[in-house]
């Protein structure tokens, strides 16, 4: 609460959660980014806090969209139920009318001819046909609206798992993909490797060239990861300037080759300031790799890959370091085996 007051940040639950994560240290990304911003200015701290809420958590807008979509879906369902109930009542009335006509045909006398009864039956039938046609139109409209809502939900779900700046999976997408990959690895007894990587000296891009250039660097890295990884491999923005890659069916040897190829691809790129054409210093990244251990929790795998990443940083940056290898066990359909098979 003191931080919210000191930095003039709205005291709502989202920002309170962010400050709690910062003070408690339970989220390293939040702690690192807000810690750096705290040494600069109040405006910078507020800007970083807002960016973290939008890109690191990103739940508020998604929940609102889901709530809106759910409400619209409820209205359609209630309307459709009402239309069906009305149609059922009308069908019951029509059935009673037909029963009355049948009885009338059996009791035709001089006062009512067969033609009169038949004419009444035709009139009632046409009226029922018109009501059925209207019901069909209404239900088709409801069906189209439901399909549109379903598409909106799919888009919302995808948006909730995507980092808006880089176009790759965000932290929520990473958590979901890693859990899925671990389950598949356990069930299929195949390897899976995690790569954690971090842009070297990222703060200097913001300090020396401004945050627009910093965003340009992040987009560049996200684009390289997205275009370089193939098949089941999943690139993610873990938070801030840190990225992660989940490589199913991949052992350490294959993951090391992937990381080294990415390191070289990023090292060769140059950032140019669009307004002046000025060439900016090259971008480099450090990589840490860990292969999944049988029965391991996802947080432990992340920690081992993170430890390898920090070792790469401590050893001079712009390099790939391998963490503790996984225990040897039978493998099927690994990337190296598939490559050897041609």
Report, as residue numbers or ranges, the catalytic residues.
241
Pick from 53, 36, 56: which is nearest to 44 by CA?
36
Nearest one of 205, 201, 185 to 193, comparing CA atoms? 185
Q: For 150, how many CA atoms within 13 A lie in the half-sphere containing its CB?
A: 6
User: Is the separation of the CB atoms in 288 and 324 below 8 Å?
Assistant: no
Whole-number Cα distances in Å, 17 to 1, 43, 55, 299: 11, 19, 15, 21
Sign of CA dihedral 92, 95, 99, 104: positive
For residue 82, how many other CB atoms are within 10 A of its CB? 11
Please return the burial class of 275, using the count of CB atoms within 10 Å of its CB with bins 0-12, 13-18 and 19+. exposed
């Amino acid at each position: 609460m003191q931080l919210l007051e000191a930095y003039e940040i709205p005291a709502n639950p989202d920002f309170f959660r962010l400050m709690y994560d910062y003070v408690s240290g339970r989220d390293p990304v939040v702690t690192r980014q807000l810690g750096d911003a705290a040494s600069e200015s109040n405006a910078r701290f507020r800007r970083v806090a807002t960016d973290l809420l939008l890109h690191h958590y990103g739940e508020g807008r998604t929940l609102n969209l889901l709530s809106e979509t759910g409400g619209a879906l409820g209205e359609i369902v209630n309307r459709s139920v009402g239309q069906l109930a009305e149609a059922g009542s009308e069908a019951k009335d029509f059935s009673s009318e037909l029963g009355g006509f049948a009885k009338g045909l059996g009791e035709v006398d001089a006062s009512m001819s067969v033609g009169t009864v038949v004419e009444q039956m035709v009139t009632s039938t046409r009226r029922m046909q018109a009501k059925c046609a209207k019901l069909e139109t209404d239900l088709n409209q409801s069906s189209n609206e439901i399909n549109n809502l379903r598409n909106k939900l799919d888009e919302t779900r995808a948006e909730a798992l995507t980092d808006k700046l880089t176009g790759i999976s965000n932290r929520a997408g990473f958590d979901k993909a890693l859990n899925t990959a671990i389950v598949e690895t356990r069930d299929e007894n195949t390897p899976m490797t995690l790569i954690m990587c971090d842009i070297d000296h990222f703060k200097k891009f913001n300090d020396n060239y401004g945050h627009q250039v910093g965003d340009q660097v992040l987009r560049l890295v996200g684009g390289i990861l997205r275009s370089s990884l193939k098949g089941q491999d999943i690139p993610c923005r873990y938070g801030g300037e840190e990225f992660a890659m989940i490589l199913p069916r991949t052992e350490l040897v294959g993951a090391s080759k992937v990381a080294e190829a990415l390191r070289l691809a990023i090292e060769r790129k140059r950032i140019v300031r669009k307004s002046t054409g000025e060439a900016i210093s090259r971008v480099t990244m450090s990589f840490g790799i860990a292969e999944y251990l049988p029965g391991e929790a996802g947080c432990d795998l992340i920690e081992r890959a993170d430890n390898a990443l920090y070792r790469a940083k401590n050893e001079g940056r712009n390099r790939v370091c391998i963490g503790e290898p996984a225990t040897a066990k039978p493998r099927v359909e690994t990337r190296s085996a598939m490559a050897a098979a041609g």
